[in-house]
Structure 1
Amino acid sequence: MVGSVPRSLVDWMWPFIWCFPGATWDHVLVLVSGALLSPGRRTVTAALRVMDLDQSASFAVYHRVLSTARWSARRVAHRLLRLLVAAFVRDGPVVIGLDDTIERRWGAKIKARGIYRDPVRSSHGHFVKASGLRWLCVMLLAPIPWAGCVWALPFLTILAPSERYAQKQGRRHKKLTDWGRQALLQTARWLPDRRIVAVADSSFSVIELLRSVSPHLDVVTRLRLDAGLYEPPPARHPRDKGRPRVKGARLPTLTARVADPTTPWQQVVIQGWYGKTQHRLDVATGTALWHHPGRRVLIRWVLVRDAEGDREPQAFLCTDLDAEPTEILGWFVRRWRVEVTLAEVRRHLGVETQRQWSDLAILRTTPALLGLFSLVTLWADRIKGQLGVLPDRVRWYPKAEPTFSDALALVRRELWTSPTFATSPDHRESAKNTDSLLNRLIRVACNPP
């Protein structure tokens, strides 16, 4: 069945051939090609239709790729991370983002779904619930040269089921921070020779998580202004009695430091602060032991005060005690690109439109679509040529830099004009092939998404 797949896609997917045994590889190529070329829903039926295989008698084998076939999604994620790092982060620290998202799904057969707080529609004074699946996404936060900014490239996506699901299965419920710890440690094992900086929001600002992963990677996240900060415990002398001290003297809270006129502030300029090109901030920093009864971790805290008075003071932490405040804030600013990626995969790759019901197919489909975002970025970088990825502009909408839609359009154009789909003037069946290709394009354009 590889004959119906564009040759360029076969070349692009070749690094993953060892992840899929036997004939599964051929079926994976068809599904990936169909998912890229489908303009609407990302179902197996839609992928087969755009590949002109909707009348194939062996349609069931393509469904089994997701529901029963034996292949490791973790192995695919490892290979994808290696390719992304080699292409976009050849040196320096590897910055990754960690965030959760809700895939809105309904149905009695979707067992792992739960009721969660909707982070998009909720606010501090308004609580909105959402039914669906909760996914934990790990993304590479790398600058894309032809895009002029940082993109969040997913490579590992984990399902974090609800507590009710765990009770029905008779298993211990794993909190989101437990899944985050496993994902971060797995990433550290995949890149043992690189420095890794993980950036996350306040949901992962948990002492147990920071303490367990800090020997393997650095973590940057938010910090409460009323967090209990202490001096490190004093050195123990041989004649001291009793248990060793676990903390030193209590330090002023960050709230008190904001109000203290003697706090030493330093003015810095940060790129991309809340969408602005450059923004002036007043920062104060120091090291402390973040302590809660029974739990503690050494951190570098960074207190931020908006020099222009637009926002309230904020605090951040980093487990690397030697990191500079500008580095910490620069890493954290990259995290905001995660929300852009989550919106783009819904808009252009059909996340939340898939219709798989079996447990294994659900576990595989959403991570595959998120990983497709990174693959499109990787392939667009390879075929951009000398002119790069050109943004699709209209007269009334100025667009300075290309976005993911432009990268996807470039990849689609490469696939539709690939030798497998395109025709040669010397071929004896050129007219028949031209009509077939034209009919496929008309069908894709006319069918409702």
Structure 2
Amino acid sequence: MLLSLSNLSMALLPKWFTGVLERFAPLFSARVWPQVQLLVVGALLSPGKRTVTAALRVLGLADDPRFGTFHRLLSRARWSSLQASRVLLNLLLKTFVPSGPLVLGLDDTIERRTGSKISAKGIYRDPVRSSHGHFVKASGLRWLSLMLLTPIPWAHRVWACPFLTALVPSQRYNEQRGRQHKTLTDWARQMLRVVQRWCPGRKLIVVADSAYAVIGWLSDLQQGQPITVITRLRLDAALYDPAPERAAGQMGRPRLKGDRLPTLASLIHDPETRWERVRLRRWYGETNREVEIVSQTAVWYHNGLPPLPLRWVLIRDPQGKFSTQALLCTDLLLSPVQILEYFVQRWQLEVTFEEVRAHLGVETQRQWSDLAIARTTPALLGLFSLVTLMAHERWQGHEPWVRHAAWYDKTLPTFVDALAEVR
């Protein structure tokens, strides 16, 4: 029954839908692939929780006694989430970024999960519910997600499309199993090097928050084929001039750095600091925003760590709406305006995390086995990118449909409109 229903439903679905989905068929056996298609359709059509049973109910399979086969698809079936991520990235690149550098967003999020059977959970600061003056702890799973930051033609803005997401187990989880604990930056380094192998010859530009402003990690990414990273920089960071060239016959070890430079915090109030006013096309929900900047190259150094050449950018708001902040970039040739325009795109990662919670049911799944847990959340995040690809295929050649309301004058499509179109 399941096989015949799947063949019938896939035959009735349009080509713009099946054309995207069939790229993943080689990753699954012929016996499992029909169940995969049904589960994807059920996940798209489910209005609330994204459990396996919710997907079966919306497909009209609530009375089928072989419901366990769909659970085993996540908990036992042999297929690779990593290879699925590679296929998804190739689809995104072919559709939106066929050439040029890849701008990637890197960020982690906490999925609130409790229960004794959720073995990889830990206690973390909840970045969504915490603020500078209010600290919120949450029990759950930490996920590190890598997203492609790309302009979507019909949305007229940059979207963050997830394609590779990894579970970062807690330190307690690794200690109980006698495993070496891998930090968030260890996972990030591994994921970025994997993407670099998948896309040989493509320059990678990564934007991340201050959690990834780590000298050792940034230096590692400059080895071999360098990966450009743009992130926040502490205002009290120890910056130095580059090491002077050695004189002929000079004895002793080569110097790692030159003279100490003033801190960025001191430059803010220095009357001799020459601020330049620039206009940015986009700035956190605003357009044509004016800010004042000053930028220079330096070496960031800390005892016991390798020196890191970087370009820093100090940003000041002439309107006084935000406090002065600093960014760093490991590519010294990028201009300050380019660095700012890349970094502003990082906010789209937060938008995507909110969209998948509100409309794709992240944090509502109820798997207990380790393998099912490791597969389900990355699949739901990847579903955001699948919906974007399918809506793009659907809207080729004609104007997208936008939902209107008396209280919301919306002119451009958002993810909700893309999801409604696919449904």
> So what's the TM-score if we normalise by structure 2?
0.95
Decide which moves more: 81-90 or 51-60.
51-60
Cα separation, 2, equivalents of 1:289 and 1:380: 46
Q: 1:73 aligns with which of 77, 81, 100?
A: 81
Q: 1:290 aligns with which of 297, 300, 320?
A: 300
Cα separation, 1, equivalents of 2:394 and 2:384: 16
Q: 1:332 aligns with which of 343, 353, 364?
A: 343
Q: 2:314 aligns with which of 293, 299, 303?
A: 303
Structure 1 residues 107-146: Cα deviation after superposition (integer angstroms, max 9, x where no partner): 1100001110011222222211011000001000111111
Aligned to 2:262: 252
Residue pairs, 1:32-431, within 5 angstroms: 32-214=40-222, 215-295=225-305, 296-412=307-423
How much has 1:251 moved relative to structure 2? 1.0
Q: Any conservation in 2 of the 1:113–1:162 contact (CA below 8 Å)?
A: yes
Q: Is residue 2:9 matched to residue 1:5? A: yes
Q: Any conservation in 2 of the 1:31–1:48 contact (CA below 8 Å)?
A: yes
Structure 1 residues 298-338: Cα deviation after superposition (integer angstroms, max 9, x where no partner): 11111111122222111001111000111100000100011
Cα separation, 2, equivalents of 1:181 and 1:254: 28
Cα separation, 1, equivalents of 2:272 and 2:352: 42
Aligned to 1:424: none
Instruction: Classify the secondary structure of the residue corresponding to 1:272.
Output: strand
Aligned to 1:445: none
How much has 1:105 moved relative to structure 2? 0.7
Q: Tell me which amino acid in the other structure corresponds to 2:38.
A: V
Query: Larger Cα Rg: Structure 1 or Structure 2?
Result: 1
Cα separation, 2, equivalents of 1:193 and 1:377: 26
Cα separation, 2, equivalents of 1:279 and 1:11: 41
Q: Is residue 2:25 matched to residue 1:17? A: yes
Q: Any conservation in 2 of the 1:5–1:33 contact (CA below 8 Å)?
A: no
- Structure 1 alignment gaps of length 5 or more: 413-449
Cα separation, 1, equivalents of 2:353 and 2:8: 31
How much has 1:4 moved relative to structure 2? 4.1
Cα separation, 2, equivalents of 1:388 and 1:67: 41
Cα separation, 1, equivalents of 2:216 and 2:73: 38
Q: Tell me which amino acid in the other structure corresponds to 2:369.
A: S
Cα separation, 1, equivalents of 2:144 and 2:407: 38
Q: Tell me which amino acid in the other structure corresponds to 1:61.
A: T
Backbone CA RMSD of aligned residues? 1.3
Q: Tell me which amino acid in the other structure corresponds to 1:218.
A: T
Structure 1 residues 206-227: Cα deviation after superposition (integer angstroms, max 9, x where no partner): 1111111124321100001110
- Structure 2 alignment gaps of length 5 or more: none
Cα separation, 1, equivalents of 2:149 and 2:132: 28
Instruction: Classify the secondary structure of the residue corresponding to 1:237.
Output: coil
Structure 1 residues 333-391: Cα deviation after superposition (integer angstroms, max 9, x where no partner): 10001111000001111111111000000000000000000000001000114333221
Q: Tell me which amino acid in the other structure corresponds to 1:282.
A: E
Q: Any conservation in 1 of the 2:7–2:34 contact (CA below 8 Å)?
A: no
Q: Any conservation in 1 of the 2:106–2:206 contact (CA below 8 Å)?
A: yes
Q: Any conservation in 2 of the 1:271–1:278 contact (CA below 8 Å)?
A: yes
Cα separation, 2, equivalents of 1:35 and 1:120: 25
Count matched residues.
412
Decide which moves more: 386-395 or 189-198.
386-395
Cα separation, 2, equivalents of 1:287 and 1:57: 66
Decide which moves more: 294-303 or 209-218.
209-218
Decide which moves more: 383-392 or 192-201.
383-392
Cα separation, 1, equivalents of 2:102 and 2:324: 28
Cα separation, 2, equivalents of 1:237 and 1:22: 69
Structure 1 residues 146-166: Cα deviation after superposition (integer angstroms, max 9, x where no partner): 111111100000001111111
Instruction: Classify the secondary structure of the residue corresponding to 1:184.
Output: helix
Q: Any conservation in 2 of the 1:271–1:277 contact (CA below 8 Å)?
A: yes
